[in-house]
């Protein structure tokens, strides 16, 4: 009976969750698990259930810093670097644990920095499809989704405000809202999204802004370099270089990944080019049948 009341309560509250306001919203992988908590709960909930709600609020990592818990958009944050004055220290060890676990013990195949006229915001680690990929630190899973660029990707928010990204996975092994410990398997390595060959694309971000993972992790020795990350304007000095590259590469080496129903003419329209140009760049005939997942150079 109590379960029926609880489920009804969640359905009644669900529309309120999308109505905005200053309510806290925790969205998880299924709609029946979506919980909306307002200051005044107009239903009688017993102490145990109320404690569960409060626990779930308290356990949102770094809630005060982010002020939101977006489980749908990978990059919802806009961190204004100009507001960063002086130096901030981000602890890499929590009170209870200093447990860093390297996501996968493989060779680095592509580093953080400029790459083929674009900026690479993560580090690529070589692996075979199906290899286990583990969480680097303890945290809570914010994103589990398939994106065109990242492929199957898991994003974990950590208590210190950092987020880590695990991309191009063949399979994910965690759910949104799940608490994970360092070393827990978040998925299996793969070659999904914009990827040429199986590898793990690993990113570290703070408020959405990439951090060079080499500044905290030794990828040769598979360990943390320091117990804390120092954040200042120098940490983000790569941004001006990335912006320059972005301007240069505009219109160059862009790809479209073919989805069901795509045609050359529709792709040409989407990118403001012509079928003739696409055929020439990709050495294709106008009559070609595109296959799902095929990469078309724009
Ligand atoms: Zn990468």
pLDDT tens-place string over residues 70-85? 999 999 987 777 777 8
- Mean of per-residue pLDDT scores for the chain: 80
Instruction: Locate the domains of the chain by residue range.
Output: 2-58, 88-247, 255-297
Collapsing DSSP to helix, strand or coil, 243 comes out as helix
SS3 32: helix
Residue 19 has pLDDT above 80, yes or no: no
User: Is the pTM for the entire model greater than 0.75?
Assistant: no
Q: How far is the CA of 89 from the centre of ligand 1 (A)?
A: 27
Virtual torsion, Cα 250, 251, 254, 256, nearest 10 deg:
130
CATH of 255-297, one of 3.40.50.2300, 3.10.350.10, 3.40.109.10, 3.40.50.10490: 3.10.350.10
Ligand 1 centroid to 59 CA: how many Å? 30
For ligand 1, the distance from its centroid to the CA atom of residue 172, given in whole angstroms, is 18
pLDDT of 265 strictly over 70:
yes
- What's the pLDDT at 86? 83
272: confidence class by pLDDT, cuts 50, 70, 90? low
CA distances from 129 to 170, 187, 189, 191, 218 (A): 7, 11, 5, 7, 24
Checking if the pLDDT of 250 tops 90, the result is no
Instruction: Give the model's pLDDT for residue 29.
Output: 31
Q: What is the mean pLDDT of residues 44-51?
A: 55
Interatomic CA distance for residues 261 and 273, integer angstroms = 19
Q: Which two tokens stand for residue 8?
A: 């009804």
- Domain 88-247 belongs to what architecture? Distorted Sandwich (2.70)
- Residue with tokens 């977006």, as numbered in its chain: 70
pLDDT tens, residue by residue, 24-41: 333 333 333 333 333 333
Contact by Cβ (8 Å): 90, 46: no
Distance 295 CA to ligand 1 centre (A): 17
Of the candidates 115, 189, 120, 179, which has an alpha carbon nearest to the alpha carbon of residue 152?
Answer: 189
pLDDT for 221 beyond 70: yes
Angle at 190 between CA 189 and CA 196, to 5 degrees: 130
Check residue 190 and report its DSSP letter: B
Whether the predicted pLDDT of 186 surpasses 70: yes
Give per-residue pLDDT as tens, 154-175. 999 998 999 999 999 999 999 9
The answer on pLDDT for 252 being more than 80 is no
pLDDT cut 90: percent of the chain above it: 46
pLDDT value at 18 more than 50: no
- Say which residue the tokens 């199906």 belong to: 130
What tokens does 197 get? 């060959």
How many angstroms separate the alpha carbon of residue 202 from the centre of ligand 1? 7
Residue-level pLDDT at 273: 75
Lowest mean pLDDT among 153-167, 185-199, 205-219, 245-259: 245-259
Distance 122 CA to ligand 1 centre (A): 5
């Amino acid at each position: 009976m109590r379960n029926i009341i609880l489920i009804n309560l969640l359905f009644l509250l669900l529309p309120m969750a999308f109505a905005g306001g200053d309510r806290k919203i925790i969205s998880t992988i299924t709609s029946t698990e979506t919980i909306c908590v307002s200051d005044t709960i107009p239903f009688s909930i017993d102490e145990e259930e109320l404690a569960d709600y409060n626990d779930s609020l308290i356990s949102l990592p770094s809630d005060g810093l982010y002020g939101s818990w977006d489980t749908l958009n990978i990059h919802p944050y806009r961190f204004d670097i100009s507001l960063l004055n002086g130096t901030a220290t981000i602890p890499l060890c929590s009170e209870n644990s200093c447990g860093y676990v390297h996501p996968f013990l493989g060779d680095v195949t592509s580093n953080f920095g400029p790459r083929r006229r674009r900026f690479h915001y993560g580090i690529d680690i070589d692996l075979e499809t199906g290899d286990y990929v583990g969480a680097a630190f303890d945290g809570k899973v914010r994103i589990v989704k398939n994106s065109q660029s990242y492929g199957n990707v898991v994003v974990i928010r950590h208590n210190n405000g950092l987020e880590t990204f695990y991309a191009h996975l063949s399979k994910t092994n965690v759910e949104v809202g799940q608490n994970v410990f360092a070393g827990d398997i978040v998925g299996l390595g793969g070659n999904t999204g914009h990827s040429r060959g199986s590898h793990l694309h690993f990113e570290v971000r703070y408020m959405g802004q990439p951090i060079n993972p080499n500044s905290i992790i030794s990828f040769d020795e598979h360990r943390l370099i320091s117990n804390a990350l120092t954040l200042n304007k120098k940490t983000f000095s790569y941004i001006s270089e990335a912006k320059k590259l972005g301007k240069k590469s505009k219109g160059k080496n862009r790809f479209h990944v073919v989805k069901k129903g795509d045609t050359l003419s529709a792709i040409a329209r989407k990118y403001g080019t012509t079928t003739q140009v696409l055929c020439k760049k990709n050495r294709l005939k106008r009559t070609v049948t595109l296959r799902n997942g095929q990469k078309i150079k724009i």
